[in-house]
Amino acid sequence: MKLFAVFSVIAVIVLFAACNNKPGKPKSFCSDPCLKDTMKFTFDHPWKPYVYITANSCSPDTIIWSHTNLPNNRKMSVSELLGQPVSINKEFVRCEIYDTSFAWVQLNDCATFRGYLLKLPFDKKKSISKYSSGLTDFDPKYKIADGLICYSDRAFIYVEDKATGKIEKMKLADHSLDIDFDNVHAAFDSVNVTRTRIFVNLVQNKEVKAIEKVISL
C-alpha cells in the first residue's frame, strides 16, 4: 500500500508538471496584436489623397488608397500584398503620403516583428513596390533618418530616399548570407542610417562585425 501511495504521489506531480508546461501563446511584440478598427491616413491636398487599412477579426484585411480625382480606388488584400498574413497594431504602422503621387506604408508584424515596406502609387499604370525585409525604426536598435527607408537582401543593405527614389547600398558579404527575416536580430544586431552614412553591426557565426559606408542621399 505504501508503494502504491508513493507511485500515486509521483503520478500526480508528473501530471501537474505536464499541465503547467503546456505551450503558451506565441510572444507578441505589440501591446495589443488585434487591429480592431480601420486605420485612416490622409494628406492635406485639394484632391484629398488617402490610405485606409481595414480590419477583420482582429487582422488587417485590405489596403485601400485613392484621391478624389481618380474614378476608382486601388485596393488589395493585405495578405496577398505582403505574401502572407500578418498581425499589426497602430503603434507599429506608419504611412506617409506624397501629394497625389504615391504613399509609403511601413509596418512590423506583431508575431515576428518582421518589417514590411510598401510604395503605393495612385496611378494604376505604375507598379507597387514592396519589401519584406524592412529594417524600420520601430525597432529601438535600428535608427533610420527621416525621409529614408532601409531594407536588405542576403548580400547587400539598401537605403532609399522615399521622395526621390534614389538608392544607396552597402555590401554585407561576398556571398549570400543565411538571414532569417522573421528573426532579423539574429543577423542585424543594430543599424544606424543617415543621409551620409550606413552603419551595421552584423552577426555572423555568433560574432558581431561592424560594417559602415559613406553615402550621399
HEC sequence for 51-85: EEEEEECCEEEEEEEECCCCCCCEEEEHHHHHCCC
Domains contained in the chain, number: 2
- Of 154, 153, 143, 158, the C-alpha closest to 194 is 143
Q: Please indicate, yes or no, whether residues 128 and 49 belong to a single structural domain of this protein.
A: yes
- Of 117, 172, 125, the C-alpha closest to 149 is 117
Q: CA 207 → CA 186, 199, 200, distances in Å? A: 10, 16, 13
Q: Which residues have C-beta within 8 Å of that of residue 74, sequence separation ≥ 6?
A: 64, 65, 66, 120, 122, 124
42 in helix, strand or coil?
Answer: strand
- Final residue of a structural domain among 134, 161, 178: 134
Q: Please indicate, yes or no, whether residues 127 and 63 belong to a single structural domain of this protein.
A: yes
Which residue type is seen at 98? Answer: Y
Assigned domain for 105 exists: yes
Q: Please indicate, yes or no, whether residues 112 and 40 belong to a single structural domain of this protein.
A: yes
Q: Please indicate, yes or no, whether residues 80 and 141 belong to a single structural domain of this protein.
A: no
- Which pLDDT score is estimated for 206? 86
CA distance 45 to 72: 18
Reply yes or no on whether the pLDDT at 192 is more than 70: yes
- Of 187, 127, 137, the C-alpha closest to 157 is 187
- Of 76, 141, 134, the C-alpha closest to 107 is 134
Q: Please indicate, yes or no, whether residues 163 and 208 belong to a single structural domain of this protein.
A: yes
pLDDT digits (tens, 9 = 90+) for 42-92: 999 999 999 999 999 999 999 999 999 999 999 999 999 999 999 999 999
User: Between 10 and 188, whose confidence is greater?
Assistant: 188
pTM tops 0.75, yes or no: yes
Domain enclosing residue 110, as ranges = 31-134
Q: Please indicate, yes or no, whether residues 73 and 155 belong to a single structural domain of this protein.
A: no
- Which pLDDT score is estimated for 127? 94
C-alpha grid cell, residue 211: 560594417
Which residue type is seen at 48? Answer: K
- Final residue of a structural domain among 100, 115, 134: 134
User: Between 32 and 93, whose confidence is greater?
Assistant: 93
Q: Please indicate, yes or no, whether residues 114 and 49 belong to a single structural domain of this protein.
A: yes
Q: Please indicate, yes or no, whether residues 103 and 162 belong to a single structural domain of this protein.
A: no
pLDDT digits (tens, 9 = 90+) for 5-45: 434 434 433 333 333 443 333 456 888 889 999 999 999 99
pLDDT mean over 130-157: 96
Q: Please indicate, yes or no, whether residues 107 and 190 belong to a single structural domain of this protein.
A: no
Q: How many CA atoms lie within 13 A of 179 on its CB side?
A: 25
- Final residue of a structural domain among 88, 110, 134: 134
Q: Are 48 and 101 in contact (CB under 8 A)?
A: no
Q: Please indicate, yes or no, whether residues 73 and 124 belong to a single structural domain of this protein.
A: yes
